[in-house]
Chains A and B, each alone.
Chain A
């Protein structure tokens, strides 16, 4: 599914502040599985996640998605693939203040130029599935933490991606909401999607639905 071969990522190359976030990472992510990347802060989790999710390019090494080499694709192609393939759930809901929930959810689909009516339907369905359809017209400032999180999940799903990436999703959620979140992940798995999560929350990596845990330390995978 997703294959990383000898991937390195170096920041500020050539400068005194040069540092290596990832050192020779070899990783294979299987389809329709829930994989958790675990590791302390500074271990390179976020960097690894952003390379897996086609958000940035490695300094060296190769990345393959579904067998296709995507290492040196220009940004516009990478973004196109990313739009269709990946759904991102961030630590913070990262919603745009001042516009409604519905608008926020439809945002990722704007560049694709789909007809507004279709898009709106899709968005409303997504919101209904997570029980926040009644908040569609509200401004995001008025949502509770859990509602905001769910909104960002609906947003991540708007383009029907088959890989979900979540970065420390339970960092700002209480226990009850965290369990709710894991239930949502379970439905993704049941739908055939692949899920990659970074977390250092035991609630997440010790959960029964997790298929694989990858340990990261100092930019390398611990075996």
Chain B
């Protein structure tokens, strides 16, 4: 056993010096390898951490959201439906929501307008039924609010806007913003405050507006709301309640939170997977390149292996040496690629991907993703990069290792 360890040490020493002796060839391979790992790792880190953020955010969303569907389209929700729902056994509370989209022709952006819930509480996360709630539910201090209003109060005629809008329109607290109401009138709203930048991922395009103003702006009658959220006491009962709602209100569409969570999860998985499939072309190209590099031994390398075999190295010793070569290159590329990807995604906000992700959206949020890297991601990366590389080099390595020992004898020239 001791001999074996000592032997590996010798071989690793020799391999390292051998790699350093052929810097040019190996640096090229290393750079390409690192690039591949970098791209795949960036994609994975990005997808996984957005998925995690989304699931954290959705975790405290209401158990059931009920909408009205007319001819396959989302219609306004009649307020009298609320009583029907309240009567169902198991329902803890029903909250109505008013929200909608406003298109601002000036900057070509869509804003989401939201009326804060009637009880006006944001920071109480226990029973909050606001559409978006705490981000960091892992902290014991559960009352960290999503959007901090900085003491601003939502009086009639005022708006609280998200950071993205503030940036886009270059406006801030105290400024005025005109809106075109449903009847052609112009309504002027004063900006009372700006939402915190920490919540940008969800609140970038958000505007908080008073209920009256909302109805004035969009012409929605008091007997309608956009949709309602339903809180259910017993988690096991949620599906039951949902099906009862459907039975009693045929035009209603109840959506269960878990379904949303699963669907989001699925979407992100699919997106991530799609990217991997697309990049598999790059991985394949890299693998072919690696195979070619490993097969194409230069005359000098061939000679060296001939010498090794002539002085007493066995085929399996040479294979071990080549294995260590591959391992050193793989590990270096893997760790460098992962570290660079980590910096790229979590510190520079995925600068390289930004154009692709942004698309033509005008209100793109400036967000800092919470770093989330787990063993699963690293293992997947390992399987998608190191394993194909290693497998591609097996046959070339074997071919190199089976060079005849007496080739060194026959080598008589320069």
| A residues in contact (CB < 8 Å) with B | 46, 49-50, 55-56, 75-76, 79-80, 82-83, 88, 90-92, 94-99, 103, 107-116, 155-156, 159, 167-168, 171
Residues of B whose CB lies within 8 Å of any CB of A are 2-7, 9-11, 14, 17, 21, 300, 303-304, 307-317, 404-406, 408-412
Residues of B within 8 A of A113 (CB): 2-7, 10
A91 to chain B, nearest CB (A): 5
Q: Are A110 and B11 in contact (CB under 8 A)?
A: yes
Q: Say yes or no: A107 contacts B311, CB within 8 Å.
A: yes
- Which residues of chain B come closer than 8 Å to A167, judged between CB atoms? 409
Structural contact, B2 and A76, CB atoms closer than 8 A: no
A90 touches B310 (CB 8 A): yes
Pick the contact of B6 from A49, A116, A159 — CB < 8 Å? A116
**Cα A56 to Cα B310 with chains together (Å):** 11
Q: How many Å lie between the Cα of A206 and that of B10 in the bound state?
A: 42
Contacts of B307 in A (CB 8 A): 94-96
Q: Which residues of B contact A168 (CB under 8 A)?
A: 412
In the complex, which residues of chain B have a beta carbon less than 8 angstroms from the beta carbon of A96?
Answer: 304, 307-308
Which residues of the other chain, A, contact B408 by a CB distance below 8 angstroms? 90, 94
Complex contact B21–A98 (CB within 8 A):
yes
In contact, A55 and B310 (Cβ under 8 angstroms) = yes
Which of A50, A91, A108 sits near B311, CB closer than 8 Å?
Answer: A108
Number of A-B contacts (CB under 8 A): 95
> Is the beta-carbon distance between B314 and A75 smaller than 8 angstroms?
yes
Would you give the shortest CB distance from A12 to chain B, in whole angstroms? 14
8 A-B Cβ contacts within 8 A?
A46-B410, A75-B315, A98-B17, A107-B14, A110-B7, A110-B317, A112-B7, A113-B5
Most B Cβ at <10 Å: residue of A82, A96, A115, A171: A96
CA distance A95 to B307 in the complex (A): 8
A113 CB to closest chain B CB (Å) equals 3
The distance from the CB of B18 to the nearest CB of chain A, in whole angstroms, is: 8
The CA-CA distance from A76 to B313 in the complex, in Å, is 9
Q: Are A111 and B21 in contact (CB under 8 A)?
A: no
Q: Which residues of B contact A90 (CB under 8 A)?
A: 310, 408-409, 411
A90 to B317 alpha-carbon distance, docked (Å)? 22
User: In the complex, which residues of chain A have a beta carbon less than 8 angstroms from the beta carbon of B3?
Assistant: 112-114
Q: By the criterion CB–CB under 8 Å, are B409 and A46 in contact?
A: yes
* A152 CB to nearest B CB, Å: 9
Residues of B within 8 A of A103 (CB): 14, 17
Beta-carbon contact of B17 and A108 below 8 Å: no
| Bound-state Cα–Cα, A115 to B2, Å | 9
Give the CA-CA distance A98 to B301 in the complex, in Å. 12
Given the complex, which residues of A lie within 8 Å of B303, measured CB to CB?
94
Chain B residues lying within 8 Å of A95, measured Cβ to Cβ, are 307
Looking at the assembled complex, report how far the CB atom of A46 sits from the nearest CB atom of chain B, in whole angstroms.
Answer: 6
Are A155 and B311 within 8 A (Cβ)?
yes
Bound-state CA distance A46–B406 (Å) is 9
Contact A110 B4 (CB under 8 A): no
Minimum CB–CB distance from A194 to chain B (whole Å) comes to: 18
B308 touches A107 (CB 8 A): yes
The answer to whether B405 and A92 have CB atoms under 8 Å apart is: no
Query: Looking across the interface, which residue of chain B has its beta carbon closest to that of A80?
Result: B314
Chain B: CB-nearest residue to A76: B314
Cα A80 to Cα B314 in complex, Å, equals: 8
